[in-house]
Copies of this chain bind each other. A is one copy, B any other.
Amino acid sequence: MKEGSESSRETRSRMRVIAVQTAQHTQMKNITAEVERVVAESECQSGICCVYVPHTTAGVMINEGDDPDVMRDIEATFNKLAPQSNSYRHAEGNADSHIKTALTGNSVTVFIENGRLALGRWQAIFFCEFDGPRRREARVKIIADAI
C-alpha cells in the first residue's frame, strides 16, 4: 500500500492507494481486508468510504465474498454480455474489457460505523480486473462525519 495525498490528522479526510496485482485476464479480487485496513488507520469512527478505480478496463463492485462461485458466475455472464471478439471497432482487442467496466462502474461507497466498514453479512468489495494480468490500483477516500 502506497501513501496517497494524505490530509493532516486535523482534517476530516484521508486518501490512500491500494496496489492491486492481478494474475489473470479476468479476475474478481476481494480487497475488503485492504480497504478495512485503510479505515482502521484513519481512526474514523463514523463516515463514508469511497473506493475508486482509476482504470478503464477494470472496475469495482460489491457482492458475495463467501462462495467464490458467485463471482465466477458474474464473470461468466459478463463474458456472455460482452464476449471477447474481433467484431468491435476499438482496435486494441480489449473492447470487451471496456464494456465490462462500463457495466461494473468505477466506484463504490460504503458507510463506516464504529470504526469499521458497515458491509452487509455476505458483502465483500471486489476489484474487477477485465484486462489483466496487470499492476493496478484502487484509491480509497474516507470522509468522516464530523471534524
User: In whole angstroms, what is the CA distance A13 to B146 when docked?
Assistant: 7
**Quick one: copies of this chain in the complex?**
3
User: In whole angstroms, what is the CA distance A110 to B7 when docked?
Assistant: 17
Q: Does A32 contact B (CB under 8 A)?
A: no
Q: Is A99 a contact partner of B74 (Cβ separation < 8 A)?
A: yes
User: In whole angstroms, what is the CA distance A50 to B111 when docked?
Assistant: 9
Q: Is B13 a contact partner of A46 (Cβ separation < 8 A)?
A: yes
Q: Is B62 a contact partner of A106 (Cβ separation < 8 A)?
A: yes
Chain A residues 78 to 109 lying within 8 A of chain B, measured CB to CB, are 81-82, 88-92, 95, 98-99, 101-109
Q: Is B48 a contact partner of A120 (Cβ separation < 8 A)?
A: no
Q: Does A34 contact B (CB under 8 A)?
A: no
| Interface size bracket, A side | 35 or more
Chain A residues 50 to 64 lying within 8 A of chain B, measured CB to CB, are 50, 52-56, 61-64
User: In whole angstroms, what is the CA distance A52 to B49 when docked?
Assistant: 12
For A52, what are the chain B residues with a Cβ–Cβ distance below 8 Å? 109-111, 118
Q: Is B121 a contact partner of A54 (Cβ separation < 8 A)?
A: yes
Q: Does A29 contact B (CB under 8 A)?
A: no
Q: Does A143 contact B (CB under 8 A)?
A: yes
User: In whole angstroms, what is the CA distance A140 to B145 when docked?
Assistant: 14
Q: Is B77 a contact partner of A82 (Cβ separation < 8 A)?
A: yes
